[in-house]
Amino acid sequence: MRVIMQPASLATPSVRQHYDDTIKSPVLLADHADVLGVDLQWLQQLHPSGSAPMWGMTPGKKNVNVGKYRKLRPGDYVFFYGQKRLYLGGLVTYTFHNPALARRLWGQDDEGQTWEFMYALDDLRGCNIPIEDVRQALPTVGPGWFVQNPYVAEGVAADNLIDLAQVAIGDVALLPSDTVILHDDEATEAPAFSGELERQVQQVSRGEQTRLKRFLLPGATGICALCGRTFERRFLVAAHIKKRTHCTESERRDLANVAMLNCILGCDALYEHGYVAVGPGGTLLISPAALREPSVRSHVELHLKGRLTHWWSQMREPYFAWHRDRIFRTEIPA
């Protein structure tokens, strides 16, 4: 997969207007059936609600953006960048070239170009990743680099960005990979996958995980830091508050603060996937996304809503803050 970083500063009035019109307020597909053509049926299949968040690129000077756009495929990921940070992420569900729709939605820029190289998005989530961390994830950029133009990351660089934001890919419906969509101006042959089919994944060693759990849970039973219920040790895991892969060596050794006990009967998965976070002072934060999913909502309302965790402390707050900024599924920025 690829990751594209899209410059879109909300401090720029025109960008803010576009963002409000087609991201905060997804595009109603039926309203544009006259210009969508064959794309309408595919978009409706992918977005059964009848609306889809959309964005696009202009061709740029000497068509500099066209080649970048042509690399995008459904299943790739987009981050929006502004004010020296990534502030929004979303999965690309569909790409299409449509100057007529782009002009209708966004008009044109001072050069007479419109944002005609378009893509639809799903699973939008706010994030707060500073440019300094982005630079560290990209092996080929320098210390003064910023996202000034659309930037397409592939291979290890793309993996690093996905890992940095802790995005769970695969939860959004996409068209089958062999689907052929006929457009007059685009090739129909899908490119062959050229990346590695397998990559080694370094996991926490059994010894370290065992020591961490024994430190947090010396007895036969323990208390889940999130729901506050008491469980036998087989139903509790030693969960890193800040992802272990992003901890420094000293943070990994900070056993008293970097981890907590979570029950495997719901709380660990909800924290891991960003449906729950811990706010300053220990108040549990519930993502609006959790309340939109019936299977998640029941657990949240029964065991988590309105709770204050006993595990929060000033020493642990930096770890909880990292999770809030990177993992927690906030609403898209207003």
The SS3 assignment for 132 reads: helix
Q: What is the pLDDT of residue 200?
A: 45
Question: In whole numbers, what is the pLDDT of the chain averaged over residues?
Answer: 86
Confidence of residue 282 (pLDDT cuts 50, 70, 90): very high
Long-range own/partner contacts, residues 153-161 (CB < 8 A, 24 or more apart): 153/2, 153/3, 153/4, 153/5, 154/2, 154/3, 154/71, 154/195, 155/195, 157/3, 158/1, 158/2, 158/3, 158/77, 159/199, 161/3, 161/5, 161/77, 161/79, 161/134, 161/137
- The span from the CA of 261 to the CA of 268, in Å, is 9
Q: For residue 91, what are the β-bridge partners?
A: 77, 122
Confidence of residue 219 (pLDDT cuts 50, 70, 90): confident
> What does DSSP assign to residue 115?
-
Sequential DSSP letters for 298-327: HHIIIIITT-B-TT--TTTHHHHHHHHHHT
Cβ count near 16 (within 10 Å): 15
pTM of the predicted protein model: 0.65
204: pLDDT strictly greater than 70? no
What is the rounded average pLDDT of the residues 116-144?
91
Q: What is the pLDDT of residue 197?
A: 42
Confidence of residue 201 (pLDDT cuts 50, 70, 90): very low
309: pLDDT strictly greater than 60? yes
Select the more confidently predicted residue: 205 or 249. 249
Confidence of residue 199 (pLDDT cuts 50, 70, 90): very low
Q: What is the pLDDT of residue 218?
A: 81
Select the more confidently predicted residue: 185 or 109. 109
C-alpha angle 113/117/122, rounded to 5°?
135
Q: What is the pLDDT of residue 175?
A: 62
What is the rounded average pLDDT of the residues 299-320?
95
Domain boundaries, the chain: 3-165, 206-326
189: pLDDT strictly greater than 80? no
Sequence-separated (6 or more) residues with CB below 8 Å from residue 132: none
Q: What is the pLDDT of residues 179-188, one digit of tens each?
A: 555 454 443 3
Look at residues 98, 104, 89 and name the one whose alpha carbon lies nearest to residue 117: 98
Select the more confidently predicted residue: 158 or 316. 316
What is the rounded average pLDDT of the residues 3-21?
95
Confidence of residue 162 (pLDDT cuts 50, 70, 90): confident
Could you tell me what percent of the chain has a pLDDT over 70?
A: 87
Fold assignment, 3-165: ph1033 like fold (3.10.590)
Range in 58-67, 71-80, 154-163, 262-271 with the lowest mean pLDDT: 154-163
Select the more confidently predicted residue: 100 or 207. 100
277: pLDDT strictly greater than 50? yes
Q: What is the pLDDT of residues 36-62, one digit of tens each?
A: 999 999 999 999 899 999 999 999 999
Q: What is the pLDDT of residue 289?
A: 87
